[in-house]
């Protein structure tokens, strides 16, 4: 049985990725890493009680990561796939941005990926196999106004992905990133109709992406068929960039 950990497992994208693995691979077990607000994650667990587990995980705490990985390995014997999906926005112009806002966003989006990769890499090296997929953002290569903190964090994720991929390639481990653009999740729920129309007008496909379209890309990068793909960043943006 393939063991998969998805962080940010209580949000739309994390839940969508977890569900996609469960639906596409009847032999996989999915662990949903969440900090709080577990209701949505527990709902998915109730659909797949034998193959899905909700795991308490503070992604900005290395010791919490170590404890989570120990729990997974004790249960499944290994960890095959890590999807670093947890993150947050706290947008604002740099001139008015508080240092706390900067650090919180960097920690949630970049430190969390560092801690996650550090926590799983030795286990994957012992296995001589593993897949790490980091969820970046189109903001890392095409940042909008007001996202200096978020764009910097996600650009760091891309650089970390490329570098780590080189470090562990000989151990049978791949490390890749996906860079979603506008995706229909709770992150877009606050946009009014006018803002949505304006955003779509800048997308060649004239629509927002679907969670399943991101999940399918993650699933592919975690599959055996993608074993020669590493250090890549796949944008999923409807042609914006």
Residues designated as active site = 150
| The pair of three-digit structure tokens given for residue 150, joined into one six-digit string | 């978020």
Assess contact for 182 and 217: CB atoms under 8 A: no
Query: CB 89: neighbour CB atoms within 10 A?
Result: 15
Assess contact for 86 and 61: CB atoms under 8 A: no
- Cα(228)–Cα(134) distance, rounded to whole angstroms? 17
Strands of 130-135's sheet in order across = 52-56, 28-34, 2-7, 81-84, 130-135, 173-180, 233-236
Nearest to 141 by CA among 159, 156, 162, 155: 155
Q: How far is CA 70 from CA 83, 122, 133, 209, in A?
A: 17, 12, 20, 35
Nearest to 126 by CA among 165, 83, 67, 80: 80
Which DSSP letter does residue 1 get?
A: -
End-to-end CA distance of the chain: 38
Nearest to 6 by CA among 120, 139, 172, 174: 120
């Amino acid at each position: 049985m393939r063991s998969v950990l998805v962080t940010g497992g209580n949000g739309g994208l994390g839940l969508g990725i977890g569900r996609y693995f469960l639906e596409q691979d009847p032999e996989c077990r999915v662990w949903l890493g969440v900090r709080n607000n577990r209701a949505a994650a527990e709902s998915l667990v109730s659909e797949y009680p034998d193959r899905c587990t909700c795991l308490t995980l503070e992604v900005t705490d290395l010791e919490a990561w170590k404890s989570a990985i120990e729990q997974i390995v004790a249960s499944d014997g290994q960890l095959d796939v890590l999807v670093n999906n947890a993150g947050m926005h706290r947008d604002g112009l740099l001139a008015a941005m508080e240092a706390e806002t900067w650090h919180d966003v960097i920690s949630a989006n970049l430190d969390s990926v560092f801690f996650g990769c550090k926590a799983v890499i030795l286990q994957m090296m012992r296995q001589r196999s593993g897949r790490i997929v980091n969820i970046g953002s189109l903001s890392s290569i095409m940042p909008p106004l007001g996202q200096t903190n978020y764009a910097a964090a996600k650009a760091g994720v891309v650089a970390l992905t490329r570098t780590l991929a080189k470090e562990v390639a000989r151990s049978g481990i791949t490390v890749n990133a996906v860079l979603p653009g506008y995706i229909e999740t709770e992150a877009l729920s606050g946009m009014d109709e006018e803002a949505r129309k304006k955003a779509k007008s800048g997308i060649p496909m004239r629509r927002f992406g679907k969670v399943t379209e991101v999940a399918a890309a993650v699933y592919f990068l975690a599959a055996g068929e993608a074993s020669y793909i590493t250090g890549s960043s796949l944008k999923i943006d409807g042609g914006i960039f």
